[in-house]
Amino acid sequence: MADRSLRGMRLGGQSLQSEEGVVFSPRMTHTYLCSTCGKETEMVFSAEAEAPETWECKFCSNEAVLMIGSEPVVLDRAEAKVPRSHWDMLLERRTRPELEELLQERLDYLRARRGQHKIGA
Ligand SMILES: [Zn+2]
C-alpha cells in the first residue's frame, strides 16, 4: 500500500516534464502586499530565482512588498543605515554662523588669490 502511493507521487512529479522532454523549471507564486491600496499582487517566478522584495502593485502601480508567509518582508532601508554626509558631520561640529564665517574667510582668500593672479598675469 505504502509503496504504491509513493510510486504515484513519483509519477505525479514526472508529469512536470512535457511530451517533448522539456523540463519546466519549478515555479513559485509570490504574493506582494500593497500598502497603498491594501490589495495583493501575485507574481509567478522560477523557484530558483530569488523573488524581488518589492513589485509594482497591479491595481494602483504603487510599491507592493513581498510577503513571507503572512508577514511582509522587512526592507533593508532603515533611515539609520543611511550614511551621514560630510555636511551632516560638519553641522554637528560647528554652528551655522561659524560655518558662514569660515566660508567668508575662504572666499576672501580665494578672491585675494585671484586678485594676485591678475596682477601677475
Ligand atoms: Zn496598490
Output the domain CATH number for residue 34. Answer: 2.20.28.270
User: What is the pTM for the complete model shown?
Assistant: 0.45
> Residues 40, 63: one domain?
yes
Tell how far the Cα of 60 is from the centroid of ligand 1, in angstroms: 4
pLDDT, mean of residues 96-102: 87
Residue 55 to residue 67: CA distance in whole angstroms: 11
Tell how far the Cα of 57 is from the centroid of ligand 1, in angstroms: 5
φ, ψ of residue 34 in degrees (nearest 5): -90, 125
Summarised one tens digit per residue, pLDDT across range 14-33 is 555 555 666 677 898 999 99
Give the count of domains, the chain: 2
Summarised one tens digit per residue, pLDDT across range 37-87 is 999 999 999 888 888 999 999 999 999 999 998 888 888 765 555 677 877
Residue found by looking up cell 504504491 in the block: 4
Tell how far the Cα of 59 is from the centroid of ligand 1, in angstroms: 5
Which helix (H) or strand (E) element contains residue 97?
helix 96-120
Mean pLDDT of the chain: 79
Q: How many CB atoms lie within 10 A of CB 60?
A: 14
Note down the domain range covering 57.
27-72
Residue 64 to residue 55: CA distance in whole angstroms: 5
